[in-house]
Amino acid sequence: MFSLQTIFGKGDKFYNLLEQSAAAAHESARALHGLVTQADHTPVMAEFAAARAREKALAAQISEELVNTFVTALDREDIEALNSALYKIPKTVEKFAERYEIVAQRLTGVDFAQRAMVLERSSAVVVEMIGELRRGLRIDPVKKLQDRLQTLESEGDRMLLAPYRTLYVEGNDAMRAMLAKDLFELLEKAIDKCRDVGNIVYSIVLKNS
């Protein structure tokens, strides 16, 4: 496997496709942060649509290339796993955006921005981790990035305590609390999807070290 990576390394089309897929996931996360912080949602929703369409096209292209390519720099099952995991990030983000658009007026004052920022930062780490694949599968930098993802996930979990306390203990609107909970859980799920990508990248590095 190492010899194949040496031969095909930077020229392997799958590195480019996976990097583009990670970038599209990051763009969708960045758009989500804009959605919960900007008053005008129209341009932001256009960003979601563009990022989602790009991610779908890239996922289909990666699957097609796997069928048509005899030799790959990474194991086929690893490319498939990364392709699937990356695809799920903007898919989950899109679910949040669609639901948020419907109930945003009901949730005025609920702070999604901090949690959305954690997602944006997590997706940025994903971009870095995918970029590491073509740099020789080095354990140390990938491990540091993986640790950053774990720290961000823990930070996001801590951020939920205050809004949950406000919504459930101090609030008296059960429907508002349930709507907010649904959206917070989608944000958490999107962050988890970033972690899943990180876990796959780290396992690839360990396997090939």
Residue 171 has a pLDDT of 60
CB burial string 51-63: b at 16+ within 10 A, e below? bbebbeebbeebe
Domain 7-208 has CATH 1.20.58.220: yes
How far, in Å, CA of 149 to CA of 83, rounded?
Answer: 19
Residue 3 has a pLDDT of 45
Residue 181 has a pLDDT of 86
Residue 1 has a pLDDT of 44
Side-chain-side CA neighbours of 183 within 13 Å: the count stands at 28
- DSSP annotation of 167 reads I
Residue 68 has a pLDDT of 84
Residues of the chain with pLDDT under 50: 1-11
152-164 pLDDT, tens digit each: 988 877 776 666 6
Domain boundary assignment for the chain: 7-208
Residue 161 has a pLDDT of 64
